[in-house]
Amino acid sequence: MTTCHSLNRLGTQHKKCTPNIFPNGNNHGEQLKYTAQAIGQKIRESRRRLGVTQKDLALTSGTGLRFIIDLEKGMETCQIGKVLTVLHTQGIGIALTPPAVSESEE
């Protein structure tokens, strides 16, 4: 399946047409299960429950205070490696589940 159904004059797909190989495609309008804001809120809630300051979390996780502030605000440009480090520091687990592949797609 492709995202573009038009053919060029030779009867082949245009170069700009790309196959739709991902089950969820590029769903800009759909809600994500975990947003940057939701992750930031969970980190803030966990930090407060533990009685830790933003500065202490930054020092413990090896990041900067500005990073923790931005992360808790849900800034979408936070570096994934640092986010994972902060999650690990707080003991917050994360599960990645790939989509099931049917036998016909293998």
Instruction: Let me know the angle formed at the C-alpha of 72 by 70 and 75, rounded to the nearest 5 degrees.
Output: 45
Residue 3: is its pLDDT beyond 50? Answer: no
Using 50, 70 and 90 to split pLDDT, how confident is the model at 96? confident
Burial readout 7-39 (b: 16 or more C-beta within 10 A, e: otherwise):
eeeeeeeeeeeeeeeeeeeeeeeeeeeeebeeb
Q: What is the pLDDT of residues 25-78, one digit of tens each?
A: 655 555 667 899 999 999 999 999 999 999 999 999 999 999 999 999 999 999
Lowest mean pLDDT among 7-11, 22-26, 95-99: 7-11
Query: What's the whole-number mean pLDDT along residues 2-25?
Result: 57
CATH superfamily label, 36-90: lambda repressor-like DNA-binding domains (1.10.260.40)
Where are the chain's structural domains?
Answer: 36-90
Contact between 88 and 60 under an 8 Å Cβ cutoff? The reply is no
Instruction: Let me know the angle formed at the C-alpha of 30 by 28 and 85, rounded to the nearest 5 degrees.
Output: 85
Using 50, 70 and 90 to split pLDDT, how confident is the model at 97? confident
Q: Which amino acid is at 94?
A: I
CA Rg, the chain, in Å? 20
